[in-house]
Amino acid sequence: MDKVSVIERISRGVVRVLGLNPGPFTLQGSNTYLIGYGERRVLVDTGDGNQPGYFGLLRECLGTSRVDRILLTHWHADHIGGVNQLLEMRDIVTTGCTVYKQLVDSDEEPDVAEMLAGARQRGCLRDIADSQEFIVDDMVLRAVFTPGHTPDHVAFTVSGGSDLMLLTGDHILGQGDKIQGTTTVHDLGSYMESLNRVLALRPTALLPGHGPVVSGSGPDGYRSIRVIEEYIKHRMMREQQILDVLASDDKAWRLEEITRAVYKDITDPKIILAAQNNTLLHLKKLLAENRVQQVNVDQEIRWALIRPNI
Ligand SMILES: [Zn+2]
């Protein structure tokens, strides 16, 4: 793991605080963000709740100021696991601290319900509306619904001055110089729509839920825009490869056959399984768009192109 600073000041009113939970699925750990510079701050995401050192970092950043609003990007434990404990910590949050999340049915599932229980019991859990604004000092946070990684995913723009930063949650990850379109996706159709939505915002920096901040510009413009375009291009390329495989033979294809034809170089069984899941996500998107069909052969689902009638 590259050495990363646990606290990073991104602008006058934005500080990144690392959740101290590195791992194979969290890169160098979850990023959380403190927004504002006055006595009342906003915290975006809370880490996983299992790293006592993280709360110490928040205290260090806050000094005498306190968090009075917590915004959550989505239900995954490495983003909301710290809520219950934070609400108990009077040296970090105000007594009236409010927790905002896009509320969905899956919040009732036991794991998620438990992580939101503290906020529910206090009566301080609030729903987020799309485009809802949160004013902090002279900055405006605006909710951008971005389903795809999870159905409840919300990104937030932070505007102030001429910059428009985008807190991306897990919709887009920061990956240093190497750009790869990789985050886990629950629904690829909505994920792609959400990518196009955030691209249209033309953010000048991406503040991801994991990995380094993407900022600055090169000869081809803002790096933030380039990263979003790469994410879109990567997925579109994969989709085209799948369509090409299906077009190469008029038969009904097994999922495994399509995967092997697209990911020719992969031999590791674990990675093949991940590739197969990815292929299935694409096929489901294409199915919803009426571009492929499912064919039942001997009680096994296979896949074929929908060819225009000639
Ligand atoms: Zn996540």
Query: Do 82 and 209 have their domain in common?
Result: yes
| One-character DSSP codes across 122-174 | HT-EEE--TT-EEEETTEEEEEEE-TTSSTT-EEEEEEETTEEEEEEETSS--
237: burial class by Cβ within 10 Å (0-12, 13-18, 19+)? exposed
Q: How confident is the model at residue 3 (pLDDT cuts 50, 70, 90)?
A: low
Q: Residue 271 is part of a domain; what is its CATH number? A: 1.10.10.10
pLDDT at 292 over 60: yes
- Report how far ligand 1's centroid is from the alpha carbon of 76 (Å): 5
Q: Give the pLDDT score at 290.
A: 95
Same domain? For 127 and 272 the reply is no
Question: Which residues have CB under 8 Å from 5's CB, separation 6+?
Answer: 18
Tell me, yes or no, whether 103 and 246 share the same domain.
Answer: no
Q: What is the pLDDT of residue 2?
A: 47
Residues of the chain with pLDDT > 70: what percent? Answer: 94
- pLDDT per residue over 29-48, tens digit each? 899 999 999 999 999 999 99
Per the domain annotation, does 227 fall within a domain?
Answer: no
Q: Is residue 229 part of a domain?
A: no
Where is the domain boundary, 159, 186, 215?
A: 215
CA nearest neighbour of 97 among 73, 70, 121, 60:
70
Centre of ligand 1 from the C-alpha of residue 161, in Å? 30
Domain tally, the chain: 2
Distance between terminal CA atoms of the chain? Answer: 56
Percent of the chain residues past pLDDT 90, beyond the cut: 83
Give the residues across from 164 on adjacent strands: 159
User: Which of residues 310 and 284 earns the better pLDDT score?
Assistant: 284
Same domain, 119 and 266: no
pLDDT at res. 309: 66
Q: How far is the CA of 305 from the centre of ligand 1 (A)?
A: 32
Query: Has residue 310 been placed in a domain?
Result: no
* Nearest CA among 72, 154, 64 for reference residue 119: 72
| Same-domain status, 125 and 268 | no
Residue range 158-193, pLDDT digits in tens:
997 778 999 999 999 887 544 444 678 999 999 999
* Mean per-residue pLDDT over the chain, rounded: 92
Two tokens, residue 101: 């999340």
pLDDT tens profile 8-24: 999 999 999 999 987 76
Domain extent for 262: 235-305
CATH of the domain at 144: 3.60.15.10
How far is the centre of ligand 1, averaged over its atoms, from the C-alpha of 64 (Å)? Answer: 31
CB of 51 closer than 8 Å to CB of 150: no
